[in-house]
């Protein structure tokens, strides 16, 4: 079963899925640029309806506890649009962390994740279906970043929940090692933002461990041209890794909305998927990226687990 904000659904019902999105988010709390936030269902729903016109049925909403996550608003969005949303538990980059993380042990943090996955978030009755997006700083693990990752590995081993990350090149191998050291199933790991690194050999060195990697900044052409994203996806498919790739847009502020002239939540379907088709990807290969892989990774026998 897959755990959404409206309850558990059968894996076969997930359909076309974006694996790393934000619908309600507050990065502005730390960035203070006045634009890095999405506050209301009303402003994001028209953008979500656009992506659903292209066939998207589900999304993993990876906003963390410390990124302004609001699962009641996610429930409102899901009810209004019909989009199936998997919400997350977890912590983001060090500057966003609440002070109490400093004195907590990995075990104590794992219990926070488990409570949100198994019992519910606060008293909303809404449960997280994923541990995400667990972040590390670009150069190295900073502050409590290693601890929140160890905790994710512990909670995943005990609950079967998947772990999705915010990871750069310099912490990627260590991230995999830390999670596997906790006894995690590598197929429950999604390393995020790997499309920002244009290096086929590097991607292979990650995938060798049996993990999944996300090409999740589709449409952000200032960071990486979508032609290169598509080319790298296709090279990995041709190497036999089509079962371990997922796609998304990672829209994290309203200035990325199509209504503001940005790429919006539609870049995967309107830019990258057409490029993949042009470059020779088959419908079956696209179906793996958009349907089969996301469903397999977050599918879990939730009835078998209870809070420790
Ligand atoms: Zn993100």
Q: How far is the CA of 85 from the centre of ligand 1 (A)?
A: 15
Q: Kindly state the tokens that stand for 227.
A: 């032609």
Q: How far is the CA of 22 from the centre of ligand 1 (A)?
A: 7
pLDDT tens sequence across 187-228: 999 999 999 999 999 999 999 999 999 999 999 999 999 999
* Residue 307, pLDDT above cutoff 80: no
Q: How far is the CA of 248 from the centre of ligand 1 (A)?
A: 10
Q: How far is the CA of 110 from the centre of ligand 1 (A)?
A: 21
pLDDT of residue 226: 97
Quickly state the pLDDT bin for 304 (edges 50, 70, 90): confident
Q: How far is the CA of 203 from the centre of ligand 1 (A)?
A: 19
**The domain 2-304 is classified under which CATH number: 3.20.20.140, 3.40.50.720, 3.40.50.2300, 3.30.70.260?**
3.20.20.140
* Residue 308, pLDDT above cutoff 80: no
* Residue 303, pLDDT above cutoff 90: no
pLDDT tens sequence across 270-294: 999 999 999 999 999 999 999 999 9
pLDDT of residue 144: 98
Q: How far is the CA of 62 from the centre of ligand 1 (A)?
A: 6
Percentage, residues of the chain above pLDDT 90: 97
pLDDT of residue 203: 98
pLDDT of residue 139: 96
Interior CA angle at 60 toward 268 and 203, to 5°?
60
Q: How far is the CA of 176 from the centre of ligand 1 (A)?
A: 18
Q: How far is the CA of 65 from the centre of ligand 1 (A)?
A: 13
pLDDT tens sequence across 108-144: 999 999 999 999 999 999 999 999 999 999 999 999 9
- CA atoms of 59 and 83, how far apart (whole Å): 7
* Residue 241, pLDDT above cutoff 70: yes
> 41 φ, ψ to 5°?
-55, -40
Residue (of 178, 198, 180) closest to 188 by Cα position = 180
* Residue 24, pLDDT above cutoff 70: yes
Q: How far is the CA of 21 from the centre of ligand 1 (A)?
A: 6
Q: How far is the CA of 284 from the centre of ligand 1 (A)?
A: 27
pLDDT of residue 270: 98
* Residue 65, pLDDT above cutoff 80: yes
Q: How far is the CA of 250 from the centre of ligand 1 (A)?
A: 5
Q: How far is the CA of 301 from the centre of ligand 1 (A)?
A: 26
Exposed, middle or buried, 227 (CB in 10 Å: 0-12/13-18/19+)? middle
Rounded to the nearest 5 percent, the helix, strand and coil shares of the chain are 50, 15, 35
How would you classify the pairing of strands 25-26 and 37-38? antiparallel
Q: How far is the CA of 183 from the centre of ligand 1 (A)?
A: 25
**CA-CA distances (angstroms) from residue 40 to 77, 87, 221?**
9, 16, 26
pLDDT of residue 149: 98
Q: How far is the CA of 56 from the centre of ligand 1 (A)?
A: 18
Written in H, E and C, the secondary structure of the chain is CEEECCEEECHHHCCCEEEEECCCEECHHHHCCCCCEECCHHHHHHHHHHHHHCCCCEEEECCCHHHCCCHHHHHHHHHHHCCEEECEECCCCHHHCCHHHHHCCHHHHHHHHHHHHHCCCCCCCCCCCEEEEEECCCCCCCCCHHHHHHHHHHHHHHHCCCEEEECCHHHHHHHHHHHHHCCCCHHHEEECCHHHCCCHHHHHHHHCCCCEEEECCCCCCCCCCHHHHHHHHHHHHHHHHHHHEEECCCCCCHHHCHHHCCCHHHHHHHHHHHHHHHCCCCHHHHHHHHHHHHHHHHCCCHHHCCCC
């Amino acid at each position: 079963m897959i755990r959404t904000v409206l309850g558990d659904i059968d894996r076969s019902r997930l359909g076309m899925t974006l694996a790393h999105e934000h619908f309600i988010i507050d990065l502005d709390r730390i960035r203070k640029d006045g634009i890095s936030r999405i506050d209301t269902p009303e402003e994001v729903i028209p953008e979500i309806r656009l992506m659903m016109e292209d066939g998207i049925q589900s999304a993993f909403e990876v906003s963390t506890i410390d990124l302004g996550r609001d699962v009641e608003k996610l429930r409102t969005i899901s009810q209004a649009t019909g989009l199936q949303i998997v919400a997350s538990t977890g912590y983001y980059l060090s500057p966003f962390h609440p002070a109490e993380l400093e004195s907590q042990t990995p075990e104590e943090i794992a219990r926070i994740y488990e409570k949100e996955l198994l019992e519910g978030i606060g008293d909303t009755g809404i449960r997280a279906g994923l541990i995400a997006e667990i972040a590390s700083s670009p150069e190295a693990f900073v502050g409590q970043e290693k601890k929140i990752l160890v905790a994710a590995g512990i909670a995943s081993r005990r609950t079967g929940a998947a772990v999705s990350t915010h990871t750069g090149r310099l912490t990627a191998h260590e991230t995999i090692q830390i999670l596997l050291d906790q006894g995690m199933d590598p197929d429950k790991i999604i390393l995020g933002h790997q499309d920002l690194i244009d290096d086929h050999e590097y991607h292979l060195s990650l995938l060798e461990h049996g993990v999944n990697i996300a090409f999740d900044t589709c449409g952000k052409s200032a960071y990486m041209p979508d032609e290169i994203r598509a080319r790298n996806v296709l090279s990995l498919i041709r190497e036999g890794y089509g079962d371990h790739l997922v796609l998304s847009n990672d829209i994290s502020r309203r200035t990325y909305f199509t209504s503001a002239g940005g790429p919006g939540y539609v870049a995967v379907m309107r830019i990258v998927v057409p490029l993949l088709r042009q470059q020779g990807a088959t419908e079956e290969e696209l179906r793996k990226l958009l349907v089969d892989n996301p469903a397999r990774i977050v599918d879990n026998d939730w009835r078998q687990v209870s809070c420790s």
